[in-house]
Amino acid sequence: MSSDRRATLRDVARESGVSVSTASRALKDDQQISEATRERVRIAAAALAYMPDLVARSLALRASSVLGLLVPDVTDPIHGSVVSGFEQAAHAAGYTTIVANSLGDTERERRAISEFASHRVDGLALMGCYLDLGSVRTLTRPSPVVSMNTERMHKGRRAELPLGCIRPDEPAGIRALVEHLVEQDCRRIAYVGIEGGAANAIRAEVVAAEVARCLGDTPVTYLPWQPDDRPAVAAELVAAGVDGALGYDDRVALGLLDGLRTIGISVPRDMAVAGFDNTSFAEISNPRLTTVRQPAAEMGAMAVAELTWAIEHGSLRPSMVLPVELVVRESTIRGS
């Protein structure tokens, strides 16, 4: 066989002296094939560096044993936890996972979804996707699609989610944070958000509504996060008289801790600071960070459970909203 040609199953059969069908069954460890023959076929396959043509197999079986997962950024701690939970659950269910990063770009989302469709993945999960869910499902049909916390769902302010959607109860987490700050005698609360993004807008709205409920007409200070100039953001908070600040997520809140420390502001004595997500860094920061735990890994595993259900039953189950948990640590305990 030419060294630059990929070995085929026919080559393995010829090398081991069996038929193509026997070679195929032997490589699948068919117990009706004798152990001696199975071993001979395995040795021949190894010697020829034979790899099965999974694309051809998926076309024949109309199944690929592959699940697709699209996330905004796998380096983000929360997205990484979703990927980990998804991959572990997929592996346990007998599936391989293909992961793509969208980086919040709709064109990258379209390309990734087209690639998933061309590879005939058995199911696809989306996280933070801006594209219309119905359009994605049309493109990937008949493979089922589940979505996790999609941006378009946030934009629509939809109380009723379409089938196959999984979303953490972020508004409940934000309300719990504001209520906690008020309990800690914070009376001028700020929200430090990121530029753009529907999730950021929703969180800002919930902060405003909960501050109004707890403190009446007290205004909320809104500031955009500037990761390259943390002391400047911290100084703006001090100038506005803020005594309690909520970051869009833990990364923003940890940056605030650093910025406030730089300009000599003590947390939580002078200002309480809280984040969102409960990343691993929140437990080891100084002071340790009050935050809200999102069930990220569980959400990834649940997406696999929903996909495998849909693959088996041919339909999606009702959508669900997952509970979140307030985690109180030193950064908001006034007087500590």
Q: What is the pTM of this model?
A: 0.75
* 1 or 333: which leads in pLDDT: 333
Sheet architecture: strand order including 66-71: 96-101, 66-71, 123-127, 145-148, 165-168, 320-322
Tell me what the pLDDT averaged over the chain comes to.
88
pLDDT at 156: 43
User: What distance, in Å, lies between the first and last C-alpha atoms of the chain?
Assistant: 75
CA distance 250 to 268: 16
Residues sharing a CB contact under 8 Å with residue 5, sequence separation 6 or more, in sequence order: none
What pLDDT shows up at residue 157? Answer: 47
The most distant pair of C-alpha atoms in the chain lies apart, rounded to whole Å, by 85
> What pLDDT, on a 0 to 100 scale, did the predictor assign at position 3?
53
62-167+296-323 and 170-294+327-332 agree in CATH topology: yes
One-letter amino acid for residue 174 of the chain: I
**Better-scored residue on pLDDT, 150 or 279:** 279
Angle at 146 between CA 140 and CA 147, to 5 degrees: 115
Q: 206 pLDDT band (50/70/90 cuts)? A: very high
The mean pLDDT value for 42-65 works out to 68
> Which of 16 and 150 is assigned the larger pLDDT?
16
Domain covering 62-167+296-323 assigned CATH 3.40.50.2300 in the classification: yes
Report the CATH superfamily, name and number, of domain 170-294+327-332: Response regulator (3.40.50.2300)
Tens-place pLDDT, residues 5-41: 678 888 889 999 999 889 888 887 888 889 999 999 9
* pLDDT on residue 30: 83
Closest CA to 298 of 266, 276, 317, 320: 320
pLDDT confidence bin for 64, thresholds 50/70/90: low
- Which position has the higher pLDDT, 334 or 296? 296
Q: What is the pLDDT of residue 335?
A: 65
Question: Alpha-carbon distance 304 to 156, whole Å?
Answer: 25
The amino acid occupying position 6 is R
Q: What is the pLDDT of residues 274-299, one digit of tens each?
A: 999 999 999 999 999 999 999 999 99
Residues 6+ apart with CB under 8 A from 217: none
Spell out the domain ranges in the chain.
Answer: 9-52, 62-167+296-323, 170-294+327-332
Whether pLDDT at 58 is above 60: no
Cα 84 to chain centroid, rounded: 9
Percent pLDDT > 70 in the chain is: 90
Reply yes or no on whether the pLDDT at 267 is more than 70.
yes
